[in-house]
Amino acid sequence: MSKVGSFLRSKRKLILLAGVPGALLVPQMVSAQEGADAMEVATSAFTGVNFVWTLIAGFLVFFMQAGFALVEAGFARRRNTVNILAKNFMDFAIGGIAYWAFGFAIMFGGSAAASGLENGNDFFGTSGFFLAGEAGADDTALLWFFQMVFAATAATIVSGGMAERTRINAYLAYSFLISAIVYPVYGHWVWGGGWLSQLDLGSGALDFAGSGVVHAVGGISALIGAAMLGPRIGKFAKDGTPRTIPGHNMPLVVLGAFILFFGWFGFNPGSTLSGTDTHIAMIAVTTFLAGAAGAIVGFYYSFVRTGKPDVGLAVNGALAGLVAITAPCAFVSPGAALIIGAIGAGIMLASLSIVERVLKIDDPVGAFSVHGAAGIWGVLALGIFADGSYGDVTGLIAGDAGQLAAQVISVVALIGWTAVASGLTFLVIKYSIGLRVPKADELAGLDATEMGTDAYPEDESPESALAASA
């Protein structure tokens, strides 16, 4: 079910299951007590396990920021490397504070998922701002931290689609606004007890770990931003034919992909918010299989098409497979996960061509195709392949067309809200501080013009060193 539902279920499990499994965790303590005291100790042990598990999963998702930074930097040209790394570093800091101040309350207010989150309505929350008052409790801090790293992920996806020609101050202003408003509103509709989660179809709109809530929101925003910016200089010929602008460092891309794949085991299994939920093992399996299937599709697509494998497409194929499985990972079988990941990679490849050749939009890292298109597919795939093995959620193949209908409604709401909200945000920024750097700055490279430093400075020659020391 939703993260909030999972969170509340895990609390109930602490009480229902504490009697026997809890005793296994703290045998010396339980054996010395009876009745209510034993129940209290076991419940405390389960609570501790869930806290530690959720925090560790959050730390893994935090580390994914390094993966995003490396993938984007590697796919870009060397003269923009420091600028890209700075954006990825700072949007996490700025987005995290925005989510602390405003986003978390808008997203989870009214859900009662933790202390101080009682007030809200079907469209947005109204409690929990600044983690103040009753929201300053340990259980709320746990939920906030785990959700904050997800919010920052949505923000950083946008960076790739707008790479190499965006003013850094404009980008960071957007990072604040997406984390404070754009991401939390749709998140509230699905995870915070909002109207989509209450649909009287199937189990309501679901998204276990964020194919739609996190990835598609970021991917659609990236597409809107890239369209408003316009293409990089030299990307399209006069007749509109797209030109390939190769990245400068494939080792960074592959290393970043490994980090992202590793972090996904916090992203998806961690979304149980419960280390005592043994289904985390199956979620890890479905996550891996979908990512692996996506990598294979991307790798062999280029091999069949050109006679040479393309590791860049293998990376994006793996990421698309992981994005696609993120929504249905808890609800589907391993075999279904393989199919979902492979189709996700195929959708990503088709989307790359449509975005570039039909829409004439320059998305340097394929942010929309990997996160937006594959994310939308993931939300729909849940409604198709859910088999009833977790939370009694069933999809179309298992005979529940209502769940697929709920997922379709969720996708329509996702696209509509994100496109309008992000579009208005970019318009405000464009006509206030400006979105795009001047042409001369873009040609010189943003490292020199915006950052004043070089990612790969030339070694000083012996002659200049001697002259400097004289």
- pLDDT, one tens digit per residue, over 34-57 is 556 655 655 677 889 999 999 999
User: 22 lies in a domain?
Assistant: no
pLDDT digits (tens, 9 = 90+) for 409-462: 999 999 999 999 999 999 999 999 999 999 999 999 999 999 999 999 986 666
- pLDDT at residue 16 in the model: 29
Domain enclosing residue 83, as ranges? 60-457
Q: How confident is the model at residue 407 (pLDDT cuts 50, 70, 90)?
A: very high
pLDDT average, residue stretch 226-254: 96
User: 67 lies in a domain?
Assistant: yes
Q: Are 233 and 442 in contact (CB under 8 A)?
A: yes
pLDDT digits (tens, 9 = 90+) for 180-232: 999 999 999 999 999 999 999 999 999 999 999 999 999 999 999 999 999 99
User: 87 lies in a domain?
Assistant: yes
Q: How confident is the model at residue 392 (pLDDT cuts 50, 70, 90)?
A: very high
Contacts of 145 (CB under 8 A, 6+ apart): 55, 58
Q: What percent of the chain has pLDDT over 70?
A: 88
User: 89 lies in a domain?
Assistant: yes
User: 16 lies in a domain?
Assistant: no
User: 236 lies in a domain?
Assistant: yes
pLDDT at 159 over 50: yes
- pLDDT at residue 413 in the model: 98
Measure the CA–CA gap between 204 and 199, rounded to whole angstroms: 5
Measure the CA–CA gap between 22 and 11, rounded to whole angstroms: 14
Which pTM value belongs to this model? 0.91
pLDDT at 64 over 90: yes
pLDDT average, residue stretch 81-92: 96
Q: Are 312 and 289 in contact (CB under 8 A)?
A: no
CATH of the domain at 69: 1.10.3430.10
Measure the CA–CA gap between 265 and 247, rounded to whole angstroms: 28
pLDDT average, residue stretch 271-276: 95
User: 32 lies in a domain?
Assistant: no
Measure the CA–CA gap between 278 and 267, rounded to whole angstroms: 16
- Quote the number of domains for the chain: 1
- pLDDT at residue 96 in the model: 97
- pLDDT at residue 221 in the model: 98
User: 154 lies in a domain?
Assistant: yes
pLDDT average, residue stretch 118-142: 97
- Residue predicted with more confidence, 18 or 251: 251
